[in-house]
A and B are shown apart, each in its own frame.
Chain A
């Protein structure tokens, strides 16, 4: 890659990262696995003057049983999430979604915190977090706060963190025995979804959409319909409610809207069949 020139800072703790962010302000970018940032820098679409490498903050790489939820360090690689026995048992949707990210080399480098912070509407993990009703812990110079998934994604590739904050932990409620499904429709295995649907049936329904708006999106219409007792088929008809599907060569708005309905129906059917 031939990026613009930049300064490189490697840090070994979250505090050091926040210190560097405070020092360099919005000219700096955090780099975890680098699989979102580096492609943008390669095309010179992102030209940070300082790259703060948090890839060595090893104490933020963990998956822990925290009682009612599972706590995952922000620097945990997708491969670790994908293969975690704890997640496979208690939050299988998240483990499965991690297995659908990119290809194996991406999954060995990319991190859950990096993917969520990137806030890409076409990514798998933001949708999973929305459907699961999870949250992230965010740290800044003034301490730590919890941000719900619903409040995390605010615009196209834009999260609600301040310039001097970083995600340190991801929290997902346990959904042991819940029905779940992730429907990812794409052309090639390593691609982003043209449209994706994550669903959790755990008493109430959590349903979210990939690539149906400029941000990761909760399928509010579907959830509402299911809450009021609608059939899966009827609920699926409301798949695109509140969406503003992007248009590209893979799909125009009409096609994406149709796909969302088909995939929501498939997701609900599969999730239902997995309930225990």
Chain B
């Protein structure tokens, strides 16, 4: 038996998923089920004067049609849908029930529900529901929200939802700008993104024929949180709600919410005693699932004559959409701490205003606040480099925390303590891989030759926060949950291991990684480890998967539970071997007696012995099962350098990524193959924001590109070849020394790509391009620059 951790290993999950054997919510069929069809508002802001349902009720297969008012009268809810992150005590939080009554506030808000025998019948009947809308002035953009001439909610005086500030030392910040030799100001738009997981959201609620329980199958990242929130909003006891997330085909944050459809399915199934289901269509998804980003950023950097940063000041205007969903207002705050990046920043200040619009609510989307922050500071660093007259890599070196040397537990300007970092070697490796001097020579050659295809080199040295913890610190942020995670490890009589995790995978490969951790700890074969998850009846304790927390919290909990299993097994082994527990050494799955190499017991033998209980120490319970709930002492802070090599065709404005180098540091790694996959996927999602994606709304709040025809999710053919490499700086926040990697790629890539485009076009005096940098947008920027605008 050799070490398993740190070696690439094919995922156990994959054969099933890749051969179509994965069972998603939509694959689960139960007898007697009713399909929900949602009648959704076609207007962004309107008064509902009346709903006529008679014709729909008479359609074939239709069981019932309920208007919003009728549903409210049925007493299905004891509280509105929750916002778990009221960021300020005076934050405005408009009441948000699963159905709109009286006034609707975004396209897609549900005003009535049809229940029918089939999905087709439900959809046909939805078309026959007549709703009398009176259109109201819509707030179709964050600019319109800030203008405050119309309000997204008629009973509000302003669209402002809150103002949140992190200003540790305002006087020092003012002094920094007063004394600066150089200042740069970047104003950036983080466009709205429509999350596009391969599996759309769906839900199936099945009431138990006896006992009054309801089982809710949901395409969710957060079955545990969903269970608690369903109980809190419906008045049904948690003890009567079981939530199961079967195979879940990606989430990216968009399945980290408490949605109207989930609550409708659960409460109607409970009320009617029949299974109720719904699966969103892609067209629905563009309105019924929360969206990401949607911020306007202003970042100012003050520096001395050498380009050493003196201060960073940031203001955000963040578009909440129409309602506060689970963590809508908290997303910008997650980024607030990262606007100082990987740099020594003596003075820092951050303010954020949240605004309501009549658009689909925003919430977490891969990176949630951190890609935005990383983008702003990394774009600003390039602007500063240009101003000071040094290269992008030099401006970064001059400002790295700890001078770019290795450090541990370092307090930074945004008040956090970074667990560990070592930035210069990471940058050096990326520059070497990119062959930077060759690239710069080629860039100059093309420029001198006046070629149509210009070369740009964009870099980003990012840091991110993951594994939100400890719970006590989250209280300080008014976050409505803890940061712990639970793990249980049970040695079974046959020698197999049963692991129960509270982290809920939806594509990350927890089964493989957790098996590897356990195999390493207990000295068993990874294939002898079964990982159970995603069912609140099997795994009652958990806080699920988001924010790159699974390994750094949940994986560590499993490792620590293994330690407890070994401790307990040691007592049994010592008893059976008639040795002192301290004289046993545990290696490769075997307790051996020091000095007596022949005397020993395999942990599987101990497990069987615990099961038979024939020969246990006095008072020992007959099993070696242990649970651990881990609440880390601090966040983990992964970092890395990404370099995007872009070719911009000036005659069409088209950008092509011709090379991409990613050197990431997520501390110690469990499965490098999974790490690499996460980096690839994350980069593509950031590239998507930089070059392709962006929901466009008109002033009436209508989305102009709600389908994949116009909303450009890049496909494999658009993805560049990515060179990945790693440095390894262990975290001090957990005993495994691991950090998260699920979001890192997204956090590093958008800035690298846009920095690359700006570098390619710098000879035109172009210093910024708004995302997505579509060919038309780039071409127009070049024309404007040439015209001297």
User: Which positions in A face B, CB cutoff 8 Å?
Assistant: 2, 4-5, 43, 185, 187-191, 194, 248-252, 255, 258-259, 262
Interface residues of B (CB under 8 A from A): 119-120, 123-124, 281, 283, 651-652, 654, 692, 696, 704-705, 707, 710, 712, 714-715, 717-718, 774-776, 779-780
- For residue A256, which residue of chain B has the nearest CB? B776
A-B contact sample (14 more), CB < 8 A, given A185-B652, A190-B717: A4-B124, A5-B124, A185-B775, A188-B692, A188-B714, A188-B715, A188-B718, A191-B712, A249-B774, A250-B774, A251-B776, A255-B776, A258-B779, A262-B652
Interchain CB contact under 8 A, B714 and A249 = no
Q: Are A2 and B120 in contact (CB under 8 A)?
A: yes
User: A252 touching B718 by the CB < 8 A rule?
Assistant: no
Beta-carbon nearest neighbor of B713 in chain A: A188
Considering the complex of A and B, which 4 residue pairs feature the smallest CB-CB distances, nearest first?
A189-B717, A255-B776, A2-B123, A262-B651
Give the residues in chain A near B120, CB-CB below 8 Å: 2, 5
Q: Is the CB of B652 within 8 A of A259?
A: yes
Question: Chain A residues near B714 (CB, 8 Å)?
Answer: 188
The residue of chain B having its C-beta at the shortest distance from the C-beta of A255 within the complex is B776
**What residues of B have a CB within 8 angstroms of the CB of A189 in the complex?**
715, 717-718
B717, A250: Cβ atoms closer than 8 Å: no
A87 to chain B, nearest CB (A): 24
CA distance A190 to B123 in the complex (A): 30
Chain B residues near A262 (CB-CB < 8 A): 651-652
Q: Are A249 and B710 in contact, with the CB atoms below 8 A?
A: yes
Contact among B715, B779, B780 for A190, CB-based, below 8 A: B715
**Using Cβ atoms and an 8 Å threshold, which residues of chain A touch B123?**
2
Q: How far is the CA of A258 from the CA of B651 in the complex (A)?
A: 9
Which chain B residues border A5 with CB–CB below 8 Å? 120, 124
Can you sample 24 A-B contacts with CB below 8 Å?
A2-B119, A2-B123, A2-B281, A4-B124, A43-B283, A43-B707, A185-B654, A187-B692, A187-B775, A189-B717, A190-B717, A191-B712, A194-B775, A249-B696, A249-B705, A250-B710, A250-B774, A250-B776, A252-B776, A255-B775, A255-B776, A255-B780, A258-B779, A262-B652
Provide the residues of chain A in CB contact with B704, threshold 8 Å: 249
Q: How far is A198 from B59 in the complex, measured between Cα atoms in Å?
A: 51
Chain B residues within an 8 Å CB radius of A194: 775
**Residues of chain B lying within 8 A (CB to CB) of residue A250:** 710, 774, 776
* Cβ contact within 8 Å between B779 and A255: yes
CB distance from B695 to the nearest CB of A (A): 10
Smallest CB-CB separation from A258: which chain B residue? B779
Task: Find chain A residues with CB under 8 A from B780 CB.
Answer: 255
A190 (CB) vs chain B CBs: closest residue: B715
| Contact present for A188 and B717 (CB under 8 Å) | yes
CA distance A203 to B704 in the complex (A): 45
Contacts of A187 in B (CB 8 A): 692, 712, 718, 774-775
Q: Which partner residue on chain A sits nearest B120 by CB separation?
A: A2
* Residue of B whose beta carbon sits closest to that of A4: B124
Residue of B nearest to A43 (CB): B283
B residues near A4, Cβ cutoff 8 Å: 124
Chain A residue at minimum C-beta to C-beta distance from B654? A185
A185 to B654: give the CA distance in the assembly, Å: 9
Closest A residue to B651 by CB, please name it. A262
Cβ of B262 to closest chain A Cβ, rounded Å: 21
- A259: chain B residues at CB < 8 Å are 652
Q: Which residue of A lies closest to B452 (CB)?
A: A262
What are the residues of chain B within 8 A of A191 when measuring CB–CB? Answer: 712
User: Which one of B652, B692, B717, B780 has the highest number of Cβ atoms from chain A below 10 Å of its Cβ?
Assistant: B652
A66 CB → nearest B CB, Å? 36
The complex places the Cα of A118 from the Cα of B440 at a distance, in Å, of 49
Residues of A near B776 (CB, < 8 A) are: 250-252, 255
- Chain A residues with CB under 8 Å of B775's CB are 185, 187, 194, 255
With a CB–CB cut-off of 8 A, which chain A residues contact B281?
2
Contacts of B119 in A (CB 8 A): 2
CB neighbours (8 Å) of B692 from chain A are 187-188
**In the complex, A90 Cα to B776 Cα: how many Å?**
36
Q: Name B653's closest neighbour in chain A (CB-CB).
A: A255
* A188 contact set on B, CB distance < 8 A: 692, 712, 714-715, 717-718
How far does the alpha carbon of A248 sit from the alpha carbon of B704 in the complex, in Å? 9
CB A189 to nearest CB in B, in angstroms, measures: 4
Chain A residues with CB below 8 A from B705, complex form: 249
Least CB distance, B685 to chain A, in whole angstroms: 15
Distance, CA A119 to CA B119, complexed state (A): 32
Q: How far is the CA of A2 from the CA of B715 in the complex (A)?
A: 25
- Residues on the B chain within 8 Å of A251, using CB: 776
